[in-house]
Amino acid sequence: MGKALVTYFSASGVTKRVAEKLASVAEAELFEIHPEKKYTGQDLNWTDRNSRSSVEMNDRSSRPAISSRIDNISQYSHVFVGFPVWWYREPSIIDTFMEMYDFSNITVIPFCTSGGSGIGDSGRNMQNLASGAKVLSGKRLTANMSIEELKRWIDEVVDE
Ligand SMILES: Cc1cc2nc3c(=O)[nH]c(=O)nc-3n(C[C@H](O)[C@H](O)[C@H](O)COP(=O)(O)O)c2cc1C
């Protein structure tokens, strides 16, 4: 593996903690994807059809703005992209992220946290938005994964 980056979006801190652990095990740099407009508790209410997250996730063309930008992404050979599963897939802000950069020659490795759902079609969705990238199907990670388990997964994906 060349230089690696772990980047993530986290609305309530779970993915953030997993991303920090992953970056430390992978000896990767860490970068948070900040929404221009932070998600409030009400925004995240999935039982409300009119909440911000419901409205965004019901519109495949939704692209919530990002206020943080990675310098020179081409320096990385592997970019891990983490997010919470929202409605069985990547949040729309991850679609914004995938369209922001030229991922040529970069292997993108999705990872997620969730209440139980797997990562689903997120990898395929992300691949469709990233010209030139190689996007793997990725994996759901949990906060209690051991360092050995994380190491094993990292070794697996960097060989793909
Ligand atoms: C709008 C919304 C939709 C969600 N949809 C799912 C889902 O489809 N399946 C699931 O297992 N968890 C779902 N969750 C739970 C989150 O994936 C889970 O709590 C995640 O670990 C939160 O990560 P974060 O703290 O980094 O934001 C959803 C949460 C929200 C706010």
Residues 92, 56 contacting (CB under 8 angstroms): yes
Best residue among 85, 92, 112, 113 to mutate for probing ligand 1's pocket (most ligand atoms within 8 Å of CB) is: 85
Question: How many domains does one find in the chain?
Answer: 1
Per the prediction, the chain carries an average pLDDT of: 97
Q: Given the structure tokens 């729309």, which residue do they identify?
A: 92
pTM of the predicted model as reported, rounded to 2 decimal places? 0.98
What the block records as the tokens of 151 is 């190491």
What the block records as the tokens of 103 is 């991922």
Structural domain boundaries enclosing 22: 4-159
Best residue among 43, 46, 55 to mutate for probing ligand 1's pocket (most ligand atoms within 8 Å of CB) is: 46
- 17-43 residue pLDDT tens: 999 999 999 999 999 999 999 999 999
Nearest atom within ligand 1 for CA of residue 12: 25
* Mean pLDDT in residue range 83-94: 98
Query: Residues 51, 34, 105, 78: is their CA dihedral positive or negative?
Result: negative
pLDDT on residue 159: 80
Query: Residues 32, 33, 34, 39: is their CA dihedral positive or negative?
Result: negative
Which CATH number fits the domain that encloses residue 119?
A: 3.40.50.360
In sequence order, the 6+-apart residues with CB closer than 8 A to the CB of 136 are 107, 108, 109, 110, 123, 157, 160
pLDDT on residue 74: 95
Q: Residue with the nearest Cα to atom 9 of ligand 1?
A: 117
